[in-house]
Structure 1
Amino acid sequence: MALIVGLPILLLVLSEVHLRLVRRDSSLAAPVNRLRLWLLPGAALLVLLTQVGHLSADNNGVRIVATVVGVLAVSIALGALNALLFGNAVRGSWRERLPGIFIDLARLVLVVAGAAFVASMVWGFDVGGLWATLGVGSIVIGLALQNAIGSVVSGLLLLFEQPFRLGDTLDVGGVSGRVVEMNWRSTHLDTGSGVQVIPNSSLAAASFTNDSRPTRAHDHTFSLTFGPADPPHEVVETVTTTAAALPSLRPGSVTKVRAAGGGVYDVTLPLATASEAGLASSTLRTRLWYAARRAGLTLDGVAADPRPVADVEAALRSVSTTLELTDEEIEALAPQCSLKTFGAGEHIVRPGRVPTAYGFVASGVVEVTAPAGPASANGSGGAVVVARLDRGQVVTAEALLRESGTLTATAVTLTEVLELPLAVVDQLVVAKHGVARRLSEVADMQRANTPQGQHT
């Protein structure tokens, strides 16, 4: 009567509980479903065979059913325990950090213990000898594989403690790199020149620095060498100005440059993340190669070579129509003008500064941007593209009026800019009305393309 009345009621209750757990997306739904579909009917069958059918416990059919019921009970108990402990683990808690191998090992031990219990209670096996054999075998295997097991255990402890995660930047014994892979045996660091594999036993036994903690912000310091005769204030200004265009700097931060003596300068880049240190320092060194030569400084013992006058004359001929220059005027102006080279990503014109020369694009591509105003399409505080300039176009139109503007001109590719002294441009504007009109049109066009509310 208990089975006839109680089993259907219990199944109905468990069905309702299972539906509620599914709606809540609970990890307990699967164990409850197995309890409802398999364990309860199996247990009911076992009761019918032994209590109603009066079959002996030594009957093979009864033993098989009891074995199935025992295995199902162990499986459902493990599933429920796993769901309760780790199903909704809070991020950062020990339950969330616990490596899966620990859970698998615990599950294996419980399964073996449950199987041994079922074999002993149902089939009458003597499992005492089995436990002794497993214990002795474990000791022998542990002694034979102690080095390999030590590395695996060290890896498991690191995974459990989690002193670093994927993407963090580590400094291990002078080797700095970004963590790209973690496993039981080793940790892989991307050093920029390759991937270095470090055994976890070495990491666990030695000290290392996690540059990505406690905060992801990172100050990267390295040294640059200029000529001892280079004026320190010019070096500091050149490095600071060049570094200001790096995209990986923290917003609102300023690069610090300190003279260490003997032409050595310590540079500190305030980066958003430590993983960008290698790329940021490499980009800065690349751009400084061009900036140092434009400023007449000696970087790494190499001084700038003056550009041949013939190159300047060729650049002047490319803008001779705009400036109405004759061949005689080009030859006369060439010694007064200069060709400046900018690497990709360097700022040619910066907002808030009055240009000291009038520039034309001699080669390459330049992108002119302005701060996005409140009425801009994107509605953000970024920048909008005003124009893209190529050979022969003016890159410093506001220089004609000696005004500082909000526009930023950036070299998209390796770019050469022909710079004319403002005094020379003033003479051309006074002497040739067509030049004045064309240069004024260029300035007006850039004003018209500037977002509303911004003035150049």
Structure 2
Amino acid sequence: MDHPLIFGFALVATDVVVWRCAVPSNEVARLLTRLGIYAVFSALLFDAGLSPFSEAPFDASRGLHVAGAVLEIIWWLTGARLLSLVLDTLFLPKMWRRQRLFEDVFSAVTFLAAVVASLAFVLELPVRGLVATSGALAIVVGLAIQSTLSDVFAGIVINTTEPYEVGNWVSIDGVEGKVLEMNWRATHLLTGQGDVIIVPNAVAAKAKITNSSRPAALHGLTITLEITPEARPGVVLDALGLALKGTRAVLADPAPSVLVKGACVQSMSYEVIAFVDDMGKKSAVANELYDLCYRHLAAAGIELRAPGEPRARDLAVDLRDRRIGVLRRVQLFGALPPDDLARLAQALTCHAYEAGEVLITPGTVSDLLMIVDSGVLSTVASKGEEQIEVARLGPGETCGEDGLLAGIPARVTISALTNSVLYSVKKDALTPLFKSNPEIVHSMCAEVSRRQHTLDKMGTAKSAVRSEESFFQWLIDRVRELHDLTL
């Protein structure tokens, strides 16, 4: 039991335990531990008279001879593995390590070299003939797996030039998706439909690649609109420019832009280009832009209809129809009966505001419901010394509900971001509408409750309103009291 070979196998078993149990948990510490075990193992072999560069001694005992040969072969194979781990852990960039390609290729080469060295030094086999034979065999195998080798070398090129990395959103050969894995054969993409598509490296190396994740904080989006040619391009461009200003997620640098893409008898094509700082925002911002473009075009009097279709009436519409159009763009009033709309339209008053003009300040109690007809408003809340923009309001959106419904002081500053036109209606004119359409009251109270909750989550100054009941129910009770309603 005192023979040094026993301790050699014990060290090999210890190395296997460290490898399989991942002890210690830190990768670098674990590698250093294995290197230490390997150094002790090497010293033990040489001390016992075993050299991995020669055949094992102990000819008098066949058992000891075989055991020595096994330890020498293990020395070569373990050394090859540790060499590849040192390269992978200490020298390769993190991105290359995630892709595994270089580690796999280098490991295969080092293990092949270790096997050949074991055959030549430990077993003293004639490797020259083996190498010559293997060369001819390699030619035959290479021809048989030509496409696979093409993928391997293409993978080396891709990993070296780094057109994309794991986690990027790319388009390769017309296939768009998120890069899940890059290995020696192919790139794995997760598409927007949840499917995994495997693109061979040879195809990716020759294809046109679009990497939407670079630059990391800059992602462009484009929407195209077909507008009737009867609309003056200058008016359309102004309306679409306001739509871009109404989206907080759009970056100011690079500046968004609108251009006339083309013109024909049936329509004129306009392109809206914007940039966001997160790939995940592109779809949501594109949808928001479509909605804002629709509302701002409608506010500019540009009808969204089939190109070439004649107008139902002349361009000059009377003020009453204009006011009804403003009310119909408000989601709250869109489903009201024509008679109620007509009565409410008569109570509307028009106001024009210049950019930078303040409409509502914190602490004021509004008795007006204000409806944005055109332009963009900015809503800003105070959090200590910091001013935070909470929202932007465009055509069809409203403000002032807090004071109108329940006499709640405003917690935000609302100002005109651009030149804007608003219509307002007083509380007395809304009370009859509330009585005949109680669903409007519930919708407005829900919106006010949502806004108050958003401000609370942001940590802004709390409202003076306190109640043991839910805030929504408190609002309903206040509306009953202020407007003398039965809901």
TM-score (norm 1): 0.59
Aligned length: 362
- Number of the residue aligned with 1:406: 413
| TM-score, normalised via structure 2 length | 0.56
Alignment pair present for 1:127 and 2:135:
no
Residue equivalent to 2:206: 205
- Aligned residues with identical type, % of pairs: 18
Q: Structure 1 counterpart of 2:306, which letter?
A: G
- Evaluate the alpha carbon distance shift between residue 270 and residue 120 of structure 1 in structure 2; reply closer, same or farther with a 3 A threshold: closer
Deviations 1:373-417 (A, max 9, x none): 326xxxx654579xxxxxx9954969xxxx9x72499xxxxxxxx
Separation (CA, whole Å) in 2 of partners of 1:83 and 1:40: 21
Structure 1 runs not aligned, ≥5 long: 12-21, 49-53, 320-326, 339-349, 362-367, 386-391, 410-418, 430-441
Residue 31 of structure 1 corresponds to 35
Q: Distance in 2 between matches of 1:300 and 1:204?
A: 46
Residue 369 of structure 2 aligns to a residue whose secondary structure is strand
Match of 1:238 in 2: 239
Structure-to-structure mapping, 1:191-230, within 5 angstroms: 198-214=199-215, 216-230=217-231
Q: Are the equivalent residues in 2 in contact too, given 1:42–1:65 (CA < 8 A)?
A: no
**How big is the shift at 1:70?**
1.6
Tell me whether 1:359 sits opposite 2:372 in the alignment: no
Query: Whole-Å Cα distance in 1 between the matches of residues 272 and 244 of structure 2?
Result: 10
Q: What SS class does the counterpart of residue 290 from structure 2 fall into? A: helix
SS, match of residue 229 in structure 1: coil
The aligned residue for residue 17 of structure 2 is: none
Structure 1: distance between partners of 2:326 and 2:296: 20
DSSP 3-state at the match of 1:406: strand
Q: Report how far residue 144 of structure 1 moved.
A: 1.8
Choose which of 264, 267, 274 in structure 2 pairs with 1:269. 274
Gap regions ≥5 residues in structure 2: 12-25, 313-320, 349-354, 361-366, 372-377, 392-397, 405-409, 431-444, 446-450, 463-487
* TM-aligned CA distance change 1:234 to 1:23, over 3 Å: closer
Q: Distance in 1 between matches of 2:107 and 2:340?
A: 86
Structure 1: distance between partners of 2:359 and 2:226: 30
- Partner residue, 1:88: 90
How far apart are residue 168 of structure 1 and its match?
A: 3.0
Taking the aligned partners of 1:210 and 1:371, their CA distance within structure 2 comes to 37
Contact 2:276–2:282 under 8 Å retained in 1: yes
- The 8 Å contact of residues 171 and 208 in structure 1, kept in 2 or not, is answered as yes
In 1, the alpha carbon distance for the partners of 2:357 and 2:166 equals 41
The Cα shift of 1:214 comes to 4.6
The aligned residue for residue 478 of structure 2 is none
Cα distance, 1:290 vs structure 2: 4.4
- Which amino acid in 1 is paired with 2:83? L
- TM-fit CA distance, 1:164: 0.8
Alignment of 1:174-193 (within 5 A): 175=174, 177-183=176-182, 184-188=185-189, 190=191
Q: How far apart are 1:39 and its partner, in Å?
A: 3.9
- Alpha carbons 1:188, 1:197 under 8 Å: kept: yes
Take 1:220 and 1:167, find their aligned partners in 2: how far apart are those partners? 20
SS class of match (1:224) = strand
Judged with a 3 Å threshold, the aligned counterparts in structure 2 of structure 1 residues 209 and 33 are, in CA distance, closer, same or farther, namely same
Match of 1:65 among 46, 67, 74: 67
The offset of 1:165, in angstroms, is: 1.7
Answer yes or no: is the 8 Å Cα contact 1:244–1:254 preserved in 2: no
Tell me how far 1:200 sits from its aligned partner. Answer: 2.6
- 1:269 is displaced (CA, Å) by 0.2
* 1-structure distance, mates of 2:285, 2:188: 24
Letter in 1 for 2:36: V
Contact map agreement 1:99 1:160 (CA 8 A) in 2:
no
- For residues 193 and 55 of structure 1, the distance between their equivalents in structure 2, rounded to whole angstroms, comes to 61
Q: Tell me by how many angstroms 1:162 deviates.
A: 1.8
Paired residues for 1:89-128 under 5 Å: 89=91, 91=93, 96=96, 100-128=100-128
Partner Cα separation in structure 2 for residue 331 and residue 220 of structure 1: 38
Code of the residue aligned with 1:207 in structure 2: it is K
